[in-house]
Amino acid sequence: MLTVRREGEVQPGIKWGPFVFRIPFIHARFALPEFLQGICVAGATGLALVPVMTASFGLSFEEAVTMAMFHTMLIASAWLFFGDPVAPGWLTPALPFIFAFVLGGGNSPEEQFQLMTALSLNFAALLIILGITGFGAKLVAWVPNVLKGGIILGAAVAAFIRIFDPNDAASALNLTPIAAVSSLALCMFLTFSKPFQRQAAQMPWLAKIAGLGLLPAFVVAGIVGYFTGEMEFNIRSGLLDVPTHAASLWDKASPLVIGWPDMSMFLAALPLAFITYILFFGDVVTGEEMIKNSQPMRPDEKLDVNSNRLHMSTGIRNAAMAVVAPFFGTQGVLWTGIQVIVLKRWASGRDKMDSIFDGISAYYVYGFPVLFIVLPIVTLLQPLLPIALAVTLLLTGFACATLALTTVTDTTERGAMVLTAMAFALFDPWTGLLAGLATILVVVGPHVFSVKKQTPEEPTSAEAAPD
C-alpha cells in the first residue's frame, strides 16, 4: 500500500469505486495548528444546533449533543471515506428555510423528524442522480440569476426573522439579551467592518484576533453573560454516556422506529430540496475555484476535485443521516472559512503541510469529535449555544444578503428578486417557489429562463465560518 506521495500526484489512499479511503496518520499526517483550532472552533460550532434540538424536537441535552456528534462524524467522512479535498460543512443558508418548513409543518417531534428524513432523502436522491448523470451544471444554468438571488436573499430574510423574532422564547435575544447583543455586534465588527479590516491590515495583532473567527464572540458572550447574571454555568464532570443516549436518540428520531415519512411529506419537501441544491451547487463551484487558484503554488500535490464525486458523496452522507440522526442541512460540501485557512497554510509550502488532507483531517479531529464527549467542556459551552446559533445565522444572513444584491443589476429584476425572497422566507416551499416563478415570469419575462442569456458566474452560498 503506497503511503508516500510521488511528486505531482494525488495523495495516496485506498480506492473503492470513484472514492478514496484515507487512513488517519498513514495517508494524513498530524497537523497541530489545525488540530487545536478544530477542537475549539469546529467543536463549538458543531453544537450550535443543540438549542433548537432541545427546544423544538423533544430531545434532552445529552441526546442533542449525541446527534451533533453523529453529524460531525458524517461530515468528516467526506475526506475520510470519499477522498474529497475540501473542508465540508453545513448547508447553512438553507437552515432558516428548514426551520420554517419543519417547525411549521410538523405537529409533534415525531412528525418533525419525519419531515427531516423526507428532506434528507429527497436531497440525497437529487444529488446522486445529478452526480451520476452530470446534469447538475445544466440544471443550475437553467435557473435565472434573479431566481438564484431570490433564493439567497430569502435565506437572509429567514435568518434575520429567526434571530429577531420577539415571540421565540428560545432565541438568544430573549434568553440573554445583553450577552447576545454584545456577541453579535463584536462578530459583525470583526467579520465585516471595513474600518476594522483597514486597521487589521496594518496591525498584525488585530489580524490575529480576526483570525480566531467566532472564538472572541463566544468569550465576550460568556464574560458579559456571567457578570450580568444572564447565564449560569453548571459544569458537570465525567464523560457523555454515548451508548445510552444514542439508543434513546434512535428511539425518538430514526425512521426505523418512529416510521417513515408518508408520500405527502416527500412531495411537500421537494421544492426545499431543489432550493437547497441551488445553494449546494454554489458551494461546489466555490470549492473548485479556491482549489484551482491555490494549485499553482503546490505543483508537488495534485488536488483531485471532482464535482460528480462531490455530488455522490454528499448524497450518501445525507441518506445515512436520514436514517441515523435526521437533521437536514448538516451535511453540506464546503465550510468556506476552514477551506481558506487550510489552503493558505498548504499553499505556503510542503514543509508547512505535506498534504491538504493533513490539514483537513486534523481540523475535523480525524473523524472523532473528542470535545463532544467531555462533559466539563460541553456543559461549559451549554449556556453559550443559543448565541452560537444566533451568530451563525447572523453571519450567514448578512453574507447572503450582500451576495444576493450582486446577482442582478437591472432594477426591475432586483424588485422581482426582493418579492421572490419574501415569498421564500414567509411561505411554505411550494407556495414560495410558485410565487417567485410567477413574479419573475410576469415582471421580468420568460426570456430569463434561457440558458444562453445567463452569465457563467454562479452565486455562492455563505458558510458560518471565520472567513
User: Which distant-in-sequence residues (6+ apart) come within 8 Å of 445 by Cβ?
Assistant: none
Secondary structure of the chain in the HEC alphabet? Answer: CCCCCCCCECCCCEEECCEEECCECCCECCCHHHHHHHHHHHHHHHCCCHHHHHHHCCCCHHHHHHHHHHHHHHHHHHHHCCCCCCCCCCCHHHHHHHHHHHHHHCCCHHHHHHHHHHHHHHHHHHHHHHHHHCCHHHHHHHCCHHHHHHHHHHHHHHHHHHHHCCCCCCCHHHHCHHHHHHHHHHHHHHHHCHHHHHHHHHCHHHHHHHHCCCHHHHHHHHHHHHHHCCCCCCCCCCECCHHHHHHHHHHHHCHHHHCCCCHHHHHHHHHHHHHHHHHHHHHHHHHHHHHHHHHHHCCCECCCCCHHHHHHHHHHHHHHHHHHCCCCCCCCCCCHHHHHHHHHHHHCCCCCCCCHHHHHHHHCHHHCCHHHHEHHHHHHHHHHHHHHHHHHHHHHHHHHHHHHCCCCCCHHHHHHHHHHHHHHHHCCHHHHHHHHHHHHHHHHCHHHHCHHHCCCCCCCCCCCCCC
> Does residue 452 carry a pLDDT above 70?
no
In the predicted structure, residue 217 carries a pLDDT above the cut 90: no
pLDDT band at 467, cuts 50/70/90?
A: very low
> pLDDT tens across 46-56, in order?
888 998 999 88
* 406-451 residue pLDDT tens: 888 889 999 999 999 999 889 888 899 999 999 999 999 998 887 6
Mean pLDDT of the chain: 87
Asked whether residue 415 is domain-assigned, the answer is yes
Does 1 have pLDDT greater than 70? no
Q: What's residue 332's pLDDT?
A: 93
Residues 61/185/152/329 CA torsion (nearest 10 deg)? -20
Share above pLDDT 90 across residues of the chain, in percent, rounded to a whole number: 39
Contact predicate 311/130, CB 8 Å: yes
Give the list of residues 6+ apart from residue 428 with CB closer than 8 angstroms, or none: 101, 104, 105, 268
CB 316 within 8 A of CB 124: yes
State mean pLDDT over 303-327: 93
Q: Please give the pLDDT value at position 352.
A: 84
Range of 310's domain?
A: 14-176+231-453
Task: Return all residues near 185 (Cβ < 8 A) that are at least 6 apart.
Answer: none
What is the phi/psi pair of residue 9, to 5°? -110, 175
* Mean per-residue pLDDT, 351-370: 84
Q: What is the pLDDT of residue 416?
A: 94
- % of the chain beyond a pLDDT of 70: 95
pLDDT at 313 over 60: yes
Mean pLDDT is highest, among 27-31, 95-99, 246-250, 428-432, for 246-250
The predicted structure's pLDDT at residue 213: 66
Q: Are 336 and 465 in contact (CB under 8 A)?
A: yes
Would residue 207 count as lying in a domain? no
Non-local CB neighbours of 201 within 8 Å, separated by 6+ positions: 207
Alpha-carbon span 280 to 120, nearest angstrom: 13
Residue 186 falls inside a structural domain: no
379-408 tens-digit pLDDT: 988 888 888 888 888 888 888 888 888 888
> What integer pLDDT is reported at residue 287 of this predicted model?
83
Chain position carrying cell 472552533:
41
pLDDT of residue 265: 95
- 38-89 confidence digits (pLDDT tens): 776 677 778 889 989 998 899 999 999 999 999 999 998 998 899 889 989 8
What was the pLDDT predicted at 314?
95
Condensed to tens digits (0 to 9), the pLDDT of residues 271-298 reads 999 999 988 988 887 888 888 888 999 9
Cβ-based neighbour number of residue 263 at 10 Å: 8
> 216 in a domain, yes or no?
no
pLDDT of residue 211: 66
Has residue 401 been placed in a domain?
yes
Residue 465 scores a pLDDT above 70: no
Evaluate whether residue 55 is within a structural domain.
yes
More confident residue, 453 or 374: 374
| HSE of 181, CA atoms in CB hemisphere, 13 A | 5
pLDDT, greater one: 337 or 464 = 337
Confidence (pLDDT) at 167: 81
Q: Which residue has the higher pLDDT, 42 or 454?
A: 42
Any domain includes 93: yes
Using pLDDT thresholds of 50, 70 and 90, give the confidence band for residue 102. Answer: very high
324: pLDDT strictly greater than 50: yes
Distance CA 382, CA 387 (A): 10
Per-residue pLDDT for 312 more than 90?
yes
- Residue 236's CB: how many other CB atoms inside 10 A? 11
Number of domains comprising the chain: 1
pLDDT in tens, 161-213: 988 988 877 788 888 999 999 999 998 898 888 898 888 888 888 887 876 66
Average pLDDT over residues 325-339: 89
250 domain residue, yes or no: yes
